[in-house]
């Protein structure tokens, strides 16, 4: 059986583009560009909690990095370096090779160097720390939302949760819908170009990993605002077109996680700017409501005008 | 049961000293000092592989950070920011509180900000990424060793492995020795001051996590040298004084891991400098041999003058 060091060497050592010293010493050495701040995020994915043990390892490699790249996108920053800690039940080289292929596909797509890591024996667990750069003061945080700001979401939230429901046999989808939903679950596309374009435009931003409403609450807490959601503005049509039950579709859109779309606020005066940059990026954005002065509350306004407060129900790993 | 977010908030949110934006956004924001390079390292600790499931959580919290600080020490850098990803089988608040106490004790001792992290449900697994700073070009890497350089080790390698042997019932130790050995195992002291003092003095350096000879091999590979160990110079006396079997003591010194002492090379002309800085730091250092031109080989010279090559036997997690 190849040793740990052999496996790391063989599959995780690649030429780096912007790393002074990568894998192979006690620490990697990185040279940030002058005047840049670092944006750093860590995510841990655990077999059985975040993914099925039999998930295709190439998809898993992609997703392990993509969810971290998404955090950097949500700051409006540029991803630069990743560090991968990997606990494996056995030194299964075919699995490691496929995982590395997916991981590096995502790294190459987004200009990320794998600059270091750790491999050990244990239950299948993947932990990535990603470091991005942003000009000092330009990062888009969660705390800049103001009452009256528009509330926007990118792309198609809900697809990944529908994909999960399909894999778990909780819903039937037509063939095209099933393919799209499972792709959204297994190969999420971090919205880097959008995040970058929204610097100086969005007042607050995050990526939706745990569900739109649950993550919205983080913006509301940090920005000391409330939110009003216009249900007629929610992008439900594509979900409904998969053939899934409408109640499930709405639940997946509002409470499903794992889409890694960007949820952001922007002053109403910037509405045309947001639309223009979305058109340029060929990525739909949906204005689904607005921030309110009623701190911490979320209200839903239905198409018939009825207004109802929402009870907290965001997904929580320990709930 | 408190939610994940409550637990994180309660136990892992502390005031930071040098972090622009810490826990609570998609990413932390850090401002490196002008002209500094970053040294970044990741270590993952898995229950059952790296520690016993019933390890005192406060000790575990200390050690989880200490092993990462040690990697920064081994570069001659200054630790600054840590990111903690934590997978827990249950939201056991008493355990988390004790773990956080140990973790922050180590953070406070070494000037480290906990700047971000992730908490999830799963088998007990701890992954830390640490970021340190060093003036560009000043880091001490593993590749600068030259034939003729002295080979040094700090402190008392072997204590932690003896402690592990005692906990596993593989040896009896006297009471004082047992206490010292278990403390070395559970509360390793990163050699930050020594690492920093060796900038510009040591030609190559690493921290001994997997065993002195196994880790020495990493220096030899990167420096393209061999090594000659003078067994009479090995610091065995303190290990023998615990009452353990001499063969076990020698094995623990040469092949035991987890001490996090610094193993380093320095030109013979710097011998007095090394001794002087060790005296100033009140940390013993031992000159245990030298680098040779016989690339990749390790020879042991016994007290009687006999010289024998060593077969590879460094500890390897997958061996």
Assess whether B188 and B215 both reside in one domain.
yes
pLDDT of residue B316 exceeding 50: no
Task: Answer yes or no: do B241 and B116 share one domain.
Answer: no
- CA separation for the pair B222, B239 (Å, rounded): 30
DSSP secondary structure, chain A, as one string: ---HHHHHHHHH----SS-SB-BTBSSEEE-PPTTEEEEEEEEEEEBTTTB-TTS-HHHHHHHHHHHHHHHHHTTT-EEEEEEEEEEESS--HHHHHHHHHHHHHHHHHHT-EEEEEEEEESSSEEEEEEEEEEETT----SS---TT-EEEEES-TTHHHHHHHHHTTS----HHHHHHHHHHHHS----HHHHHHTTTT-SEEEE-SS-HHHHHHHHHHHHT-EEEEEGGGS--HHHHTTT--HHHHHHHHHH------EEEEE-GGGHHHHHHHHHHHT--EEEEEEEESSTT-EEEE-TTS-EEE-------TT-
CB-nearest partner of B40 from A24, A28, A91: A28
Cβ–Cβ gap B20/A29 under 8 Å: no
Looking at the DSSP bridge assignments, the partners of residue B33 are none
Q: Is B142 annotated as a binding residue?
A: yes
Q: Are B129 and B158 part of one and the same domain? A: no
- Chain B partners within 8 Å of A222 (Cβ): 24-25
Measured distance CA(B260)–CA(B189) in Å, rounded: 7
A112 and B CB contact within 8 Å = no
A60 falls within a domain: yes
Residues in a beta bridge with B132 = B39, B79
pLDDT at A319: 28
Whether residues A169 and A103 fall in one domain: no
For chain A, percent of residues with pLDDT exceeding 70: 95
Please say which residue of A108, A135, A162 terminates a domain.
A135
The average pLDDT across A10-27 equals: 76
Measured CA to CA in angstroms, residue A80 lies from A65, A70, A101, A238, B66 at distances of 12, 13, 18, 34, 26
Among the partner-chain residues B21, B77, B207, the one whose CB lies closest to the CB of A141 is B21
Out of A39, A40, A127, closest to residue B44 by CB:
A127
A247 touches chain B (CB under 8 A): no
User: Within an 8 Å CB–CB cutoff, is residue B135 touching chain A?
Assistant: no
pLDDT at B205 over 80: yes
Q: What is the mean pLDDT of chain B?
A: 91
* Per-residue pLDDT reduced to its tens digit, A19-66: 777 677 788 888 888 888 999 999 999 988 888 888 899 999 999 999
Note the pLDDT tens digit of each residue in B29-46: 888 888 889 999 999 999
User: What's the whole-number mean pLDDT along residues A312-318?
Assistant: 41
Q: Can you give the residue range of the structural domain that contains B26? A: 4-135
* Residue whose C-alpha is closest to residue A156's, from A86, A239, A32: A239
Q: Which residues of A are annotated as a binding site for Mg(2+)?
A: 26, 41-43, 71, 118, 207, 210
Shortest distance between the Cα of A33 and any Cα of chain B, in A, equals 9
Query: Cβ separation of B3 and A318 shorter than 8 Å?
Result: yes
Q: Is the pLDDT of residue A11 over 90?
A: no
Strand pairing report for B125-135 and A113-121: unpaired
Residues A164, A128 share a domain: no
Residue A86 contacts residue A119 (beta carbons within 8 Å)? yes
On chain A, the residues whose CB falls within 8 A of the CB of B25 are: 75, 141-143, 206, 222
A146 pLDDT higher than 90: yes
- From the CA of B10, how many Å to the nearest CA of chain A? 15
For B229, the enclosing helix (H) or strand (E) is: strand B226-230
Chain B residues within 8 A of A120 when measuring between CB atoms:
44, 46, 49-50, 317
**pLDDT above 60 (res A315):** no
Determine the residue of chain A that is closest to B20 in CA distance: A37
Q: Say if B147 is an interface residue toward chain A (CB within 8 Å).
A: no
Better-scored residue on pLDDT, A90 or B211: B211
SS3 of residue B133 by DSSP: strand
A4 pLDDT more than 70? no
Q: Are residues A111 and A181 in the same domain?
A: no
Residue A87 near residue B44 (C-beta atoms within 8 A): yes
Contacts of A40 in chain B (CB under 8 A): 27-30, 81, 83, 115-116, 129, 131
Q: Considering only alpha carbons, which residue of chain B is nearest residue A144? A: B25
A21 and A89 belong to one structural domain: yes
Helix (H) or strand (E) holding B43: strand B36-46
CATH of the domain at B194: 3.90.650.10
Confirm if B192 and B72 have CB atoms less than 8 A apart: yes
Q: Is A313 on the interface with B (CB under 8 A)?
A: no
The count of domains in chain A is: 2
CB contact under 8 A, A75 and B37: no
Whether residues B104 and B163 share a domain: the answer is no
CA distance B3 to chain A (A): 5
The pLDDT tens digits of the residues spanning B214-265 come to: 999 999 999 999 999 999 999 999 999 999 999 999 999 999 988 999 999 9
Q: Do the domain assignments include residue A236? A: yes
Pairwise CB contact (< 8 Å): B20 & A37: yes
DSSP collapsed to 3 states, A247-266: HHHHHHHHHCCCCCCEEEEE
Residue A128: predicted pLDDT: 96
Residue of B nearest to A92 (CA): B318
Residue B314 pLDDT > 60, yes or no?
A: no
Is B184 inside any structural domain?
yes
Residue A313 neighbours by CB under 8 Å, 6+ apart? A213, A214, A255
Q: CB-based contact (8 Å) between A317 and chain B?
A: yes
Mutation target for B interface from A27, A69, A81, A141: give the one with most B CBs within 10 A.
Answer: A27
Whether residue B316 lies inside any domain: the answer is no
- Domain boundary at B101, B135, B169, which? B135
Which of A32, A35, A42, A116 is most worth mutating to test chain B (most B CB atoms within 10 A of its CB)?
Answer: A42
Check residue A163 and give left, alpha or beta (phi > 0: left; psi -120 to 50: alpha). alpha
Lowest mean pLDDT among A142-151, A189-198, B26-35: B26-35
Together in a domain, B130 and B57:
yes
pLDDT value for A265: 98
Q: Which residues of chain A neighbour B205 with C-beta distances below 8 Å?
A: 26
Annotated binding site of A: 26, 41-43, 50, 71, 117-118, 142, 207, 209-210, 258, 315
Using CB atoms and an 8 Å cut-off, which of residues 74-103 of chain A contact chain B?
A: 74-75, 77, 81, 83-87, 91
Whether B141 is covered by a domain: the verdict is no
Q: Which residue has the tokens 């008392």?
A: B156
Task: Give the pLDDT band of residue A121 (cuts 50, 70, 90).
Answer: confident
> What pLDDT sits at residue B313?
52
Q: Please write the tens of the pLDDT for every residue from B67-120.
A: 999 999 999 999 999 999 999 988 788 999 999 999 999 999 999 999 998 888
Q: Identify the domain boundary among B135, B158, B181.
A: B135
Residues 27-46 of A with CB under 8 A from B: 27-32, 34, 37-44, 46
Mark A16-31 as b/e (b = at least 16 C-beta within 10 Å): beebbbbbbbbbbbbb
Residue B140 falls inside a structural domain: no
B129 token code pair: 């990424």
Average pLDDT over residues A208-221: 93
Residues of A whose CB is below 8 A from B37? 20, 29-31
**What pLDDT was estimated at residue B157?**
96
- The answer to the question of residue A141 being in a domain is no
Answer yes or no: is pLDDT of A317 > 70: no
Q: Please report residues of A whose CB lies closer than 8 A to that of B53.
A: none
Minimal CA separation from B242 to chain A, in Å: 31
CATH number at residue A126: 3.30.1330.10
Q: How far, in Å, CA of A109 to CA of A191, rounded?
A: 12
Dist CA B133 CA B139 (whole Å) = 9
Are residues B268 and B197 located together in one domain of the fold? yes
A120 and A171 co-located in one domain: no
Q: Number of Cβ pairs closer than 8 Å across A and B?
A: 240
The pair phi, psi for residue A239, each rounded to 5°, is -65, -45
Provide the pLDDT confidence category of residue A2 given band limits of 50, 70 and 90. low
Please determine, for residue A318, whether its predicted confidence score (pLDDT) is greater than 70. Answer: no
Which residues 179-238 of A are in CB contact (within 8 Å) with B?
205-207, 222
Beta bridge partners of A85: A118, A127
Please answer whether residues B99 and B60 qualify as being in contact, where contact means their C-beta atoms are separated by less than 8 angstroms: yes
Of all residues in chain A, what percent carry a pLDDT higher than 90? 74
Task: Specify the pLDDT at position A257.
Answer: 82
B178 and B110 in a common domain: no
Give contacts of A318 with chain B, Cβ < 8 Å: 1-4, 7, 91, 119, 121
- Report yes or no: B129 at the A interface, CB cutoff 8 Å: yes
**pLDDT of res. A33:** 86
End-to-end CA distance of chain B: 41
B314 domain residue, yes or no: no
Prediction ipTM score: 0.88
């Amino acid at each position: 059986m190849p040793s740990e060091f052999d496996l790391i060497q063989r599959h995780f050592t690649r030429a780096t583009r912007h790393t002074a010293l990568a894998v192979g010493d006690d620490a990697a050495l990185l040279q940030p560009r002058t005047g840049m701040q670092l944006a750093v995020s860590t995510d841990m994915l655990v077999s059985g909690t975040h993914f099925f043990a039999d998930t295709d390892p190439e998809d898993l490699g992609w997703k392990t990095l993509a969810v971290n790249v998404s955090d950097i996108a949500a700051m409006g920053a540029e991803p630069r370096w990743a560090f991968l800690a990997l606990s494996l039940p056995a030194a299964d080289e075919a699995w490691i090779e496929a995982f590395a292929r997916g991981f590096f596909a995502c790294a190459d797509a987004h200009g990320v160097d794998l600059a270091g890591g750790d491999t050990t024996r244990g239950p299948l667990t993947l932990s990535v720390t990603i470091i991005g750069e942003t000009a000092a003061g330009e990062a888009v945080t969660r705390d800049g939302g103001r009452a009256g700001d528009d509330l926007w979401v990118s792309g198609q939230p809900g697809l990944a949760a529908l994909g999960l429901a399909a894999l778990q046999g909780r819903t039937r989808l037509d063939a095209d819908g099933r393919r799209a939903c499972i792709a959204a679950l297994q190969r999420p596309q971090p919205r880097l170009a959008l995040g970058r374009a929204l610097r100086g435009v969005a007042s607050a931003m995050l990526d939706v990993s745990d569900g739109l409403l649950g993550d919205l609450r983080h913006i509301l807490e940090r920005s000391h605002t409330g939110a009003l959601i216009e249900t007629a503005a929610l992008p439900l049509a594509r979900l409904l077109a998969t053939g899934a039950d409408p109640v499930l579709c709405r639940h997946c859109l509002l409470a499903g996680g794992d889409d890694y779309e960007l949820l952001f606020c922007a002053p109403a005066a910037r509405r045309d700017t947001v639309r223009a940059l979305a058109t340029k990026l060929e990525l739909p954005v949906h204005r689904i409501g607005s921030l309110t002065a009623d701190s911490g509350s979320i209200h839903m306004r239905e198409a018939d005008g009825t207004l109802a407060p929402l009870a907290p129900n965001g997904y929580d790993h320990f709930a």
